[in-house]
Amino acid sequence: MTRPLKVVGQPIGRADAIDKVTGNARYVHDWSEPGMLHAALVLSPHAAARIVGIDSDAARRIPGVRAILTGEDLDVLLGLYMQDKRILARGVVRHQGEAVVAVAADNLDIARQACNEIEVTYDPIEPVLDPAVALRPDAPLVHPDLDSYEHMRGVFFPEPGTNIAHHQKIRKGDFDSAFASADLRLTLTFDNPPVQHVPMETHAAIGKAHPEGRAEIWTSSQSPYTVRHLLSACFGLSHGDVRVHVPYVGGGFGGKAGLGLEPLVYVLSRAATGRPVKLVATREQEFNTLPSRQGLHSTIELGASRDGKLTAFKATYHWDAGAYADYGVNIGRAAAYAGAGPYSIDNCWIDSQVIYTNKVFGTAFRGFGHLEVLWGVERAIDQMAHQLGMDPADFRRLNLLKDGDITITGEAFTSGHGDPTGCLDAVARAIDWATPSTPSENPDLVRGKGLAMLHKAPAMPTYTSCSTIIKLDEDGGADVLISGVDYGQGTYTVLRQIAAEELRIPIERVRITWECDTAFSPYDWQTVASRFAYMGGNAIIEAAADCLRQVRVVASKVFGVPVDRIVCANGQASVADAPEKRLSYAQLALGYTYENGNSIGGPVIGHGRFIAQGLTHLDPKTGQGRPAQYWTYGAHAVEIEVDTRTGELRVCKIASALDAGKVLNPKLVVGQVVGGVVQGLGSALWEGFRFDKQGRLLNPSFVDYKIPTAKDIPDRMEQIFLETPQPGGPYGARGVAEHPMISVPSAIGNALTDALGIEFHTLPLTPERILLAIRSHEEGTA
């Protein structure tokens, strides 16, 4: 018999909110260590150039300057999946904004003054800015040494002698003949520009090199153990000699996954006789020195039968990786195995290529490539529906994955995996899909409706794992140690609920330590991929059971009954059918002491762990295999209004449905969806890097790169959750953190077509782009 849930599923407020509303929450931004120095950077003004010389003599003479480093001092290559990046540029610069020289000084003013005194001489090279150009046989190579780079072998397939960092292939059925024999065919191209994560706390790190090279790092990171591992590998240190602290983190969205500023602050400290060195990225550096989301150029070909069955799908995804692809290669991989949308397609062919260019480099970003590929897929699906004369929702219903279908990588889909059709139906109802938009009384304002599907699985190595330790306190409360990071998404609160549920104590008695510290917090791979509540939740369930097993063993000895007769509830262990025989957890947490002083047991410490189950590498030639621990499905439907005089677009309503498996905390999950939808709105309407012809980023500030403000949110946002239990998920839950932003642009693009009769293929949908399209449409039809 399953116990009714008391804490899981409740709208519990977040545990960290009091620290955050009082200013008591300390971020690395706020952190200082005794004797700490401050670092500043000299950045490349060129997108591509040879470094001819660096003259730092004048800077070295400035009092208070403690260390100056260039790439010549640092002969190491770094990276998570592909080791292609140096700590500081060495010999060449590959994007404007790349760090070339770093200075550590007594304060930031001195460090910046020193940077101004450093003369770097460059010999500029013609940059490669367009992935299509980068693919030409005669294109200059961004990484001529690609053949020598270490990378995760068997998973990623760089093509030395080209600018291709990874080529992911998906092959199922026979696309060519299915496409040739299709009743209807279409070929379309789509574009997404690179965008920035814009965490409100920019990247920040403090490094200290202890004697004999031991490293201690404080970092605004999503990845304490990954930082530890990569630092130890890079500098030849044992893992135990690298200690990583992650306190409160001011937003991440993927941009703080993997490795960031940590190696640089460590080597600066090493050069500055071991004094701690702090480096906080300026907002401009956050845009053009730290990583962004990759751009994407898609070509999509669809074939369908006249009765509305999607018979052939082909996509070419050209990812604009920028100068480095250490993380980007995995986006090219993950977005390919999800690259046909949540549809049943017998004949599928995808080439996903991650291409080096001389732009600021890409990394993980909430949605991990799925927003980008589904911008094309979901727009193409709508256009095929229109060609067929079918309702776009009906066309989707006909083709969505259903029980017994096989995905494009050969996984069997069962209804237990989630309910994409249910998500579609839910948003269609919420937006009153069957009824066209009511026309505005103002003839300049036109309205339209659109919808789009989304799906995503965690993109992670096959061996991804998580672990936790629960210590019972003297008073019967519990401390949870875990090293996944809660940078705002709320996972710690959810894990606290799970610990309270499983330990059978009130949630107020459970504490999760906010500062992760690899010296004390047990291993977790990194906090990405919407997998922390799933894996951490399972680990906590196991750790709590371990605690209760220890409690039961001692209680059984005290009462002289078999262990299986001891039950735990309400913070007490008692004998079944004899509830008067009971002990509180407080009496057992450190061991039980008899009246005569004899003691048994000992401090109760439980541990739990979870490792990804049954994942396989994908076949290099066909992409067949099992890449996904689980899939989360969802849909958005929107109603918009466009001002045809200005091109401005207003979202009147957006309804979002996600199959969460089990809603663990209804309050926090709504916050995730609203936040994700508005972030998706940014990608849809405003956000995108602009470069000049020399490859210089033109909009590295909030004035020139607009993110949504309080004035820009939709008039109404509705969130709907389906609960098809996930096999293996804690209480049937699956991840939903990234998903809300995926396909928001697609739904809006589809609604624009409904409103204006114009097809849009390029993001963002700025007023300028919309107005120009209206004008050229008018000219074309005049």
Residue type (1 letter), 565: R
Distance between first and last Cα of the chain: 71
Q: Which of 400, 566, 668, 685 touches another protein (CB under 8 A)?
A: 668
Nearest Cα neighbor of 19 from 512, 542, 540, 636 is: 512
Q: Rounded to an integer, what distance in angstroms lies between the CA atom of residue 747 and that of residue 749?
A: 5
Q: Which of 713, 762, 771, 777 touches another protein (CB under 8 A)?
A: 713
Please check whether residue 687 is in contact with residue 748, taking contact to mean a CB–CB distance below 8 angstroms: no
Q: Which residue has the tokens 């998500």?
A: 423
Q: Which stretch binds another protein (CB under 8 A): 312-320, 333-341, 695-703, 747-755?
A: 695-703
Nearer to another protein, 295 or 488 (CB): 488
Applying CB under 8 A, does 729 fall inside the site for another protein? no
Torsion over CA of 7, 8, 9 and 11, rounded to 10 degrees?
A: 50
Nearer to another protein, 32 or 415 (CB): 32
Applying CB under 8 A, does 721 fall inside the site for another protein? no
Applying CB under 8 A, does 30 fall inside the site for another protein? yes
Q: Which of 90, 283, 309, 549 touches another protein (CB under 8 A)?
A: 283
Q: How big is the chain, counted in residues?
A: 782
Nearer to another protein, 326 or 486 (CB): 486
Segment 56-62 long-range contacts (CB within 8 Å, at least 24 positions apart): 56/101, 56/114, 56/117, 56/118, 56/119, 58/117, 58/118, 58/119, 59/103, 59/114, 59/115, 59/117, 59/118, 60/114, 62/105, 62/110, 62/113, 62/114, 62/117
Q: Rounded to an integer, what distance in angstroms lies between the CA atom of residue 635 and that of residue 343?
A: 13
Q: Which of 156, 253, 324, 731 touches another protein (CB under 8 A)?
A: 253
Nearer to another protein, 36 or 186 (CB): 36
The single-letter DSSP state of residue 202 is P
Q: Which of 52, 132, 200, 578 touches another protein (CB under 8 A)?
A: 200
CA dist 148 → 49, 140, 353, 763 (Å): 21, 18, 19, 36
- For the chain, the 3-state helix, strand and coil shares in percent, each to the nearest 5, are 30, 25, 45
Nearer to another protein, 553 or 670 (CB): 670
Applying CB under 8 A, does 698 fall inside the site for another protein? no
Q: What does the block give as tokens for 440?
A: 């505005």
Applying CB under 8 A, does 19 fall inside the site for another protein? yes
Applying CB under 8 A, does 412 fall inside the site for another protein? no
Q: Which of 75, 560, 598, 703 touches another protein (CB under 8 A)?
A: 703
Q: Which of 198, 373, 528, 752 touches another protein (CB under 8 A)?
A: 198
Give me the least distance between CB of 777 and another protein, in Å please: 32
Q: Rounded to an integer, what distance in angstroms lies between the CA atom of residue 658 and that of residue 541?
A: 24
Give me the least distance between CB of 713 and another protein, in Å please: 5
Give me the least distance between CB of 359 and another protein, in Å please: 22
Q: Which of 6, 582, 667, 769 touches another protein (CB under 8 A)?
A: 667
Applying CB under 8 A, does 27 fall inside the site for another protein? yes
- Helices 262-271 and 224-235, axial angle in degrees (round to 10): 50
Q: Rounded to an integer, what distance in angstroms lies between the CA atom of residue 430 and that of residue 206?
A: 48
Q: Rounded to an integer, what distance in angstroms lies between the CA atom of residue 376 and that of residue 369?
A: 12
Applying CB under 8 A, does 676 fall inside the site for another protein? yes
Q: Which residue has the tokens 């063993």?
A: 553
Q: Which stretch binds another protein (CB under 8 A): 246-254, 292-300, 340-348, 417-425?
A: 246-254
Q: What does the block give as tokens for 368?
A: 């991990």
Give me the least distance between CB of 62 and another protein, in Å please: 17
Nearer to another protein, 86 or 256 (CB): 256
Q: Rounded to an integer, what distance in angstroms lies between the CA atom of residue 692 and that of residue 242?
A: 41
Applying CB under 8 A, does 677 fall inside the site for another protein? yes
Q: Rounded to an integer, what distance in angstroms lies between the CA atom of residue 430 and that of residue 46?
A: 50
Q: Which of 7, 8, 16, 633 touches another protein (CB under 8 A)?
A: 16
Q: Which stretch binds another protein (CB under 8 A): 80-88, 197-205, 373-381, 656-664?
A: 197-205
Give me the least distance between CB of 686 and another protein, in Å please: 13
Applying CB under 8 A, does 248 fall inside the site for another protein? yes
Structural Rg of the chain based on CA atoms: 27
Applying CB under 8 A, does 43 fall inside the site for another protein? no
Give the number of residues in contact with another protein, rule: CB under 8 A. 54
Applying CB under 8 A, does 490 fall inside the site for another protein? yes
Q: Rounded to an integer, what distance in angstroms lies between the CA atom of residue 772 and that of residue 768?
A: 6
Nearer to another protein, 3 or 711 (CB): 711
Applying CB under 8 A, does 202 fall inside the site for another protein? yes
Applying CB under 8 A, does 679 fall inside the site for another protein? yes
Per CB under 8 A, which of residues 460..489 are in contact with another protein?
487-489
CA dist 514 → 68, 403, 486 (Å): 34, 42, 8
Nearer to another protein, 153 or 711 (CB): 711
Task: Point out which residues bind another protein (CB under 8 A).
Answer: 13-14, 16-27, 29-30, 197-202, 248-253, 282-283, 487-490, 667-668, 670-671, 674-679, 701-703, 707-711, 713, 717
